[in-house]
């Protein structure tokens, strides 16, 4: 049989990036003379991307959302965020041990995120995690992003795996929809940034800590067809 590939979302799944993303958002809003966005509200918007977070900040102040203005603020966001990408962002508890356990069992690990690939690598570099992943793919790697399943398919391929032996791990409806469209099972984490309660979104397995990941992956992998001799 070929290797089992486990593909992770990044923000809200591997890494708790909310502190640095929200800090960056509020710096950008302050430059525009706008009030900060409530942290709890902003946290649930992270999975929708920086532009959506900026739009929410504008809407909260009843400012008309103008595309050119959002793009200018997005540029400011990326510039500031890149300089502060790992000030307070940290792996979720148990992550490193879980990755070590999966790797020891021969799993190939990959990242499929709607974050820009360069920022994703910069963050993982800062946290000394990059080398654990056979592929790291962002929204700009192939010109498509989740929930388009093509980015997930290409990430699995880049990691040296195949769709018939792959599992997605994510924290949002977008991750679940992407896995479903690609035809692979999905494990959801309940500590991420989903705006809708994750337990309502129909993942194949739901975990509340990374110490539960190995068992969830094992259970799902047991359902894969055996390769013909």
Q: Which residues are catalytic?
A: 9
CA distance 102 to 29: 41
Count the residues in the chain: 229
CA distance 190 to 178: 17
């Amino acid at each position: 049989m070929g290797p089992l590939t486990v593909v992770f979302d990044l923000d809200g799944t591997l890494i708790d990036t909310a502190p640095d993303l929200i800090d960056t958002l509020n710096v950008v809003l302050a430059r525009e003379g706008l009030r900060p966005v409530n942290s709890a509200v902003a946290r649930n918007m992270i999975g929708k991307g920086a532009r959506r977070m900026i739009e929410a900040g504008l809407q909260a102040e009843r400012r008309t959302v103008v595309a050119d203005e959002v793009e200018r603020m997005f540029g400011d966001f990326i510039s500031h965020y890149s300089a502060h990408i790992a000030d307070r962002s940290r792996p979720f508890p148990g992550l490193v041990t879980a990755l070590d356990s999966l790797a020891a069992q021969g799993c190939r690990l990959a990242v499929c995120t709607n974050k820009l690939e360069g920022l994703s690598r910069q963050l993982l570099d800062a946290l000394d995690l990059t080398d654990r992943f056979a592929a790291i793919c962002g929204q700009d790697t192939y010109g498509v992003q989740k929930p388009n399943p093509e980015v997930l398919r290409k990430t699995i391929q880049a990691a040296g795996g195949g769709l018939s032996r792959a599992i997605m791990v994510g924290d949002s409806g977008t991750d679940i929809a992407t896995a479903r469209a690609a035809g692979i099972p999905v494990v959801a984490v309940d500590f991420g940034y989903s705006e809708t309660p994750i337990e309502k979104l129909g993942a194949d397995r739901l975990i509340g800590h990374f110490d539960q990941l190995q068992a969830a992956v094992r259970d799902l992998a047991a359902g894969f067809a055996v390769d013909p001799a």
